[in-house]
Structures are given as C-alpha cells and as structure tokens.
Amino acid sequence: MRTAAWVSLGLSALLLGSTAGASAKTLVYCSEGSPENFQPAINTTGTSFDAARPVYNRLTEFKRGTTEVVPGLAESWEVTDGGSTITFHLRKGVKFHSTKEFKPTRDFNADDVIFSFDRQWKPDHPYAKVSGGKYDYFNDMDMPSILDTIEKKDPYTVVFHLKTPNVAILANLAMDFAAISSAEYGDFLLKKGTPEQLDQVPVGTGPFSFVTYQKDAVIRYKKNPDYYGEKALVDDLVFAITPDATSRYAKLKAGECQVNGYPRPADLPEMQKDPSLKVISASGLNIAYWAFNNTKPPFDKKEVRQALSMSIDRDAIIRDVYLGAGVKAKTLIPATMWSYNDSIVDYPYDPEKAKKMLADAGVKTPIDIDLWYMPVQRPYNPNGKRIGEMMQSDLAKVGVNAKLVTYEWGEYRKRLQNAEDTTGQMGWTGDNGDPDNFFFLLACNDGHAVQNNIPKWCNTEFNDLLVKARVIPDQAGRAKLYSRMQEIEHDEAPSLLLAHSTVFEATSAKVTGYLQSPLGTHAFEGVDVK
C-alpha cells in the first residue's frame, strides 16, 4: 500500500513537472562547451563567441546565414578619403538590457562605441587590464596598425580615421571582438568596485538578454522585446552544455535539445535517415594546404610545384580522412565566398604527367624531401599525420621520398613561419568572410613574404592587386581583382590547396528559420520551434 502511494506520488509529480512552464516557448541548443566568459573582446574560442552573441550587437553585422556585411548598430556609413575615413551613422532608440542591479538610463550612443574600442586599444583605459587584458582578436586583425583615431562627431556619429586605406575593416567590425558594450554599465561597475562583472554578466543590445549561467551545465537567455532587428521568436533560449558529441546526438533524438552543434561525421548517415531530424551543411570558411617552400630548390620552379600538385590524390584524402566532410579546394577561398572564381580548372590527379613534368623541370628522381605534418587537429585538417602518410605514399609513386616531420604545435607554427621547412601542411580559418582575410596569407612587403605567408611566395602582380582591392569601396570592383588573383595563384601553385572542410549541423525537424552560418557561428534570432 505504501509502495503504491509512493509510486502514485512520483507519477503525479512527474506529470505536474512536465506541464510546469509549458506556456513559454523554449529553444534548447546543445552546445559543446563552457564559455571562458561573456566578453567577446577578450575571447578566442567559437564556444565563447557563441555564448555572448545572443546578447551583443556590432556596428556592422553579417547577414544571418551569409558573410554579407550589413548595417548593425550603425544604420549607414560613408567611406571617404580613398578608403582612409569611414563615418558611421548610429541607430537611434536602441535600448541596452537590464540586470538585477543595473537599469540603463540612456539609449545606445557614440560613447558606447568609443568605450568598447578604447578598452581594447588604449592601455590607460580603466577596463584595459580587467579580466586579463588580452585582446587577441583586436591585435590579430591588425587593428592597432589600421586605426589612427576614433572620433565622436556627435552622439550618433562616429568617424574611424585609418592610417592606411582599408575598406576590409567593415568586415572586421562585424566580428565578435567588435561587440558594443554599455559604457554606462561599465561606469556603474567601476563605481561598485566590480569591473570584472562586465565580462561575467553581459549587458548588450542583442536579440536575447542574459539570464544566468551555471558552469559546465547551462546558459539561459530570454527574449529582448525591445530589440531593433530581427526578433527572437522563442521566449527562452537555453544552451545545454554537452561536451560529448554522441550525447548531443542522443539528446537531439530524445527531444532534450533542438539544435545540435558539431555532430560527429560518423553519425551523419544515420541522422540523415531520421525523419525527425534535419541535417544541414555548408563549406567551411577555411582552407587546408600543403605549402612548398618557394625559397628552396627545386620548389622555386613553378613547373615542379605544378607537378607535385598533380601527384596527390586529394579525393582519397577527403574520402578516408575527412570521411566525406570536405571538398577539394581549387582556390584559397571556398565557393560560398564572394569573388570565388569558378572558371579555374583544378589540377587533376595524374602521377604519370607529374613524373614527366618533374623530369622536364630537371628534377632527378628519386628525390628526398621533408613533409611536415600538423601535430594538432584543426577544423580544416582532421588528422595531419594520416594525411601526411597518404601524401607520402602518393609522392613515392612519382619518385619523391617524403620524410614525415612534425613538432609541438607552437614550435611547428614558428618554424614554418621562419621557412625552416621544405614542404609543410598548414591551413587557415577565415575570420570575417572578406576575401582579403584569405589572400593576405600570400602578402609580401617590399618583395619579402609576411610572417603568415608560409610558402614564402611573392608575386608582384598578385601583391599589387591585393593592396589595390583594399581601397576600392564597392564589392563588385574588388571581386574582379580577387578573381584575377585566384588565376595567378592557381597558375603559380605556391601551395597545393588540399580541401575546405564541410561543416554539418543537425536540428529537430520542428525547428524553422535556422540558418547555418558560413562563419561557423550559431545565431538564434528568427528561429522558431513548431
């Protein structure tokens, strides 16, 4: 009798539980990890950016699901002085979120823009050293050498004066590190003596406001009813932190979450068969390549580089190492990016022709080379060693004996940048969808390759076009130059372009309006659950 009573109590509790809170619409995203904090200016990981993104806006934004730069907190802008001055006209009437302690007394204005950039730029800013003070992205995107001054012309006009013309900065400003925080909130926390709260309890203008965070468990947000842009269609957004990919899949199947970030490639065939799920995919904004050290013979000869480009069976690598989650690359940028030149004819896999070309170029086989392989897994390279082994086997067929070499990742990168290799794997993940953010990888200064130019290849025409494209304000004009640069790069073959990885995401079939971002980010405004 007592057992029956307990069972009945448990069941009724369960039933009551399942109806609690049913009136509010909730979207649960199974995320892969915990954020470092909620301040994109000091973060470097996609996980942390994803967690802060619902809360913040930037001056410019990427149109959801694309890399197109559109107005954000700046509703318009003018580029003048040949690309050296950009005047932003700020949106009026934009409200910041409130917290339990802080209630904003004013709308967003130019002070917030100055506050957000000065923190990352000026060492004497009161927030410069808060939370470690590492502004990696601000520095990685070369902002200190691009920016001259940021001027507040009036409360709703901000002028960026640049040291050199650079319209590609508009894409930089749409990146997460350029998120706009509330200066009023910053002042409030300074007076309270808890400035680090700015990075822990975020206040922004975004489609969702932050509610709570439990480390390694959950992040909760609620809809911002005052949002100026595309509205949130759910009342509550929940990030269920689920580090294991198989558990994320199980949760998606069980209906415990509706969007699953980063599914395992091995689970994809089963996911695609399940009618209760939707699998979407896009070419990742990245490139894996095999760089030839153009400063060392025989790789200083174009014909040798072209021959070696024909000696690697990239289809086999994509099938066996990427498990199909990749596409062969024929230019540095993926096909989803504007200015992609589809007319380029890729190098075929043709070992016989490669052998002949090597002989014609005066290379006596067998020849010994070093093949450096990546010691770490990256989004564009799932297994550097395995790819290296497959390349080694292909190269043997054309009389090239490749010795596999690697170092610890920091050391590896440093030595490659110092051109200590003869050939080596490397790659790049795009930051902002602007072609400049890929083509600068082959930039030179006064005929000397820059640090990130791993093949150490310098071509005058290519470099001139790269510089010129930075000062042309219109996209169509820039696209023509980038298109030509792709032809030069392909013909010269400074590296063999291996692959762009394919990024997959899975959602419940009940989810509508979810758009996959080519930047690999996750955004939930305009997403609904039926």
Partner 1 sequence: MLIYFFRRLALTIPTFVALMFVTFAAIRLVPGDPVEVRVGEHGISPERLAFFRHQLGLDQPLWKQFLDYCWQILHGDFGVSLSTQAKVLTEFFTLFPATIELTFFAMMFAVLIGVPAGAAAAVNRGGIFDQVLMSISLFGYSMPIFWWGLMLIMFVSVQLGWTPVSGRVDLINYYYDTPTGFMLIDAALSDQPGAVWDALHHLILPAIVLGTVPLGVIARMTRSSMLEVLSEDYVRTARAKGLSPFRVIGLHALRNALLPVVTVIGLSVSSLLAGAVLTETIFSWPGIGHWLIDSINRRDYPALQGGVMLVSTVVILVNLFVDVFYGAINPRIRHGR
Print the binding letters for residues 442-461 with partner 1: x by CB under 8 A, - otherwise: ---------xx---------
66 binds partner 1 (CB under 8 A): no
In angstroms, the Cα distances linking 251 to 244, 254, 358, 527 are 11, 5, 54, 19
Both tokens of residue 515?
A: 């758009």
Answer yes or no whether residue 476 interacts with partner 1 by CB under 8 A: no
Instruction: Confirm if 261 and 31 have CB atoms less than 8 A apart.
Output: yes
Largest distance between two CA atoms of the chain: 94
Spatial contact of 493 and 442, defined as CB atoms under 8 Å apart: no
**Residue selected from 150, 190, 250, 515 as contacting partner 1 according to rule CB under 8 A:** 250
Of these, 58, 278, 355, 413, which contacts partner 1 (CB under 8 A)?
Answer: 413
**Does 262 sit near partner 1 (CB under 8 A)?**
no
Q: Is 319 helix (H, G, I), strand (E, B) or coil?
A: helix
Residue 53 or 251: the one with the smaller Cβ distance to partner 1 is 251
Q: Which helix (H) or strand (E) holds 396?
A: helix 384-396
Minimum separation from the CB atom of position 471 to partner 1 (A) = 23
> Min. distance of Cβ 378 from partner 1 in angstroms?
8
* Binder of partner 1 out of 1, 4, 5, 15 (CB under 8 A): 15
Q: How far is CA 149 from the centre of its chain?
A: 27
Give the nearer residue to partner 1 in terms of CB position, either 222 or 355.
222
Ramachandran assignment for 142, one of left (phi > 0), alpha (psi -120 to 50 degrees), beta (any other): left
Q: Which of the ranges 184-192, 347-355, 422-430, 479-487 carries the binding residues for partner 1, by CB under 8 A?
A: 422-430
- Rounded CA-CA distance 436/332 in Å is 11
Q: Which stretch binds partner 1 (CB under 8 A): 172-180, 195-203, 349-357, 386-394?
A: 195-203
Closer of 164 and 409 to partner 1 (Cβ): 409
Of 78, 81, 101, 140, which lies in the binding site for partner 1, with binding defined by CB under 8 A?
A: 140
Contact call for residue 1 and partner 1 (CB under 8 A): no
Nearer to partner 1, 107 or 256 (CB): 256
Note whether 99 binds partner 1 by CB under 8 A: no
Number of residues engaging partner 1 in binding (CB under 8 A): 60
**DSSP letter string, 224-261:** -TT-SSSPPSSSEEEEEE---HHHHHHHHHTTS-SEES
Decide if residue 382 touches partner 1 (CB under 8 A).
no
Residue 34 engages partner 1 in binding (rule: CB under 8 A): yes
Angle at 379 between CA 376 and CA 383, to 5 degrees: 45
Question: Which token pair is 170?
Answer: 């508009």
- Cα separation, 530 vs 283, in Å, equals 28
108/249 with CB nearer partner 1: 249
**Nearer to partner 1 by C-beta: 14 or 345?**
14
26 lies in the binding site for partner 1 (CB under 8 A): yes
Question: Which amino acid is residue 160, in one-letter code?
Answer: F
Shortest spacing between CB 495 and partner 1, in angstroms: 14
Task: Work out which of 109, 116, 181, 242 binds partner 1, going by CB under 8 A.
Answer: 242
Residue closer to partner 1 by CB (options 250, 367) is: 250
Beta 367-372 vs 400-405: how paired, if at all? Answer: parallel
Region 199-218 residues binding partner 1, contact defined as CB under 8 A: 199-200, 214-218
Q: Is 131 in the site for partner 1 (CB under 8 A)?
A: yes
Residue 95 Cβ vs partner 1, minimum distance, rounded to whole Å: 24
**3-state SS, residue 438:** helix
Under 8 Å between Cβ of 280 and 516: yes
SS3 516: coil
Q: Is there binding between residue 37 and partner 1 (CB under 8 A)?
A: yes
- Contact (CB, 8 A) for 214 and 230: no
> What is the DSSP code string of 115-151?
HHHHHHH-TTSTTTTGGG---HHHHHTTHHHHEEEEE
> Which residue among 51, 86, 238, 333 contacts partner 1 (CB under 8 A)?
238
Q: Which residues form the interface with partner 1 (CB under 8 A)?
A: 10, 13-22, 26, 28, 33-34, 36-37, 44, 131-132, 134, 136, 139-140, 196, 199-200, 214-218, 220, 238, 240-244, 246-247, 250-251, 253-254, 256, 378, 408-411, 413-414, 417, 426-429, 451-452
